[in-house]
Amino acid sequence: MMTRILIPVVIAAFVSHAVLRAQNPTSAQAAPPAGKVAKIQCLEPTWKFGNAAQYTMLTHAFVIKNVGQDVLQIKQVVPSCQCQAVLPTKNELAPGEETTVECKMNTQGLQGPVTKTISVLSNDPTQGSIILTMTGDIVPPFSVKPRQIELGAVSKIDGKGGTELSFVVSKGLDVQLRDLKVSSPLVVATPLGKLEEQPDGTRILKVRVDLKGGASVGLLRETLTFITDMPNVPPAVVPVTASIEGEVMISPRTFNLGKVKKGETTSKEIEITKTGEANLVIEGVDVSPPGPFAAEVITDEAGKKFRVRVSVKADAPEGYQRGTLTLRTNCAGENTIQAYFYAFIGK
């Protein structure tokens, strides 16, 4: 009898507890605060800046608004790395009031797709912070193609001309070439026309590079320097190299006889040309080492054009072989001229 009485009491207690819990939720299941509250809002929390040049400072002002019914307090602004954020013009906003948060991004050292964020912390009870985003592509403002000029063998008498470079401005950027400097009066750089827009949105200026005659025999190392109207952007420096030949020119200066089967022979010819008025006399030709290789001179135009045929002998030893060809001439200051070759002797 007692058991029948207790069961309804327990059920009633359980139901009463459930009702009370629904009316008085715990902290883990807190209901939204009652009454007037502040509410933070940014209608455009993401700024897509498109293409931006390296070495520049990007700046954007995000508009923050209080769309709640109580005073909004902006407690803190926290930028991610390489971003700076200026505190809002007002830290407390009445309902309906607006302020701005100015954010800056230093693009130096950045390249490609970039996304940076700024957190704005407030007293909004339902959204304690909002994220502001700056996103886009960081591109080099300009480039020079090719990055270096290799002129090869060049006569000290005639020089060499006709080499072209392209000064390329990245898509969507306004960059002008302010100056083009050369490290030597022997190098002449001439812009051809003006920046022309391309189908891909870049703009290109062609530059012709000429090398005057008169350089000293040996390796020439000079530079072209492209300076733009962007003061914070370092100039582009393009190396210009050449092997300055005297009146006697060898082409090629270095050559490969290839892979040769042991016991067989092969040969390759190089050209010898003479500039200037005086005729060239090849007084002799030597090959080092003399055992595996031989050389003979063939005259195409007396005093001006010759060929030298270099051969691998049948008794050349196996392995990687290197040789030096030395021409003895009647040309003052160029009495000996050398070329270099190699071959692999296999089974």
Same fold across 142-245 and 248-346: yes
Over the stretch 284-303, which tens digit does the pLDDT of each residue have? 999 988 888 999 999 999 99
The pLDDT of residue 2 is above 60: no
The CATH fold assigned to 248-346 is: Immunoglobulin-like (2.60.40)
Q: What is the pTM of this model?
A: 0.58
Beta bridge partners of 205: 167
| CA 202 – CA 177 distance, rounded (Å) | 14
Over the stretch 148-178, which tens digit does the pLDDT of each residue have? 999 888 888 888 887 899 999 998 888 999 9
Over the stretch 212-243, which tens digit does the pLDDT of each residue have? 988 887 789 999 999 999 888 899 999 999 98
Give me the chain's average pLDDT, please: 86
The pLDDT of residue 86 is above 90: no
Q: Which long-range contacts (CB under 8 A, 24 or more apart) does 267-270 make?
A: 267/309, 267/310, 267/311, 267/312, 268/309, 268/310, 268/341, 269/298, 269/307, 269/308, 269/309, 269/310, 270/307, 270/308, 270/310, 270/325, 270/339
Beta bridge partners of 335: none
Poorest-pLDDT segment among 19-28, 67-76, 218-227, 246-255: 19-28
Task: Say which CATH class 142-245 falls into.
Answer: mainly beta
The CATH fold assigned to 40-139 is: Immunoglobulin-like (2.60.40)
Domain boundaries, the chain: 40-139, 142-245, 248-346
Cα pseudo-dihedral 174, 178, 179, 180, rounded to 10? 20
Amino acid 34: pLDDT: 58
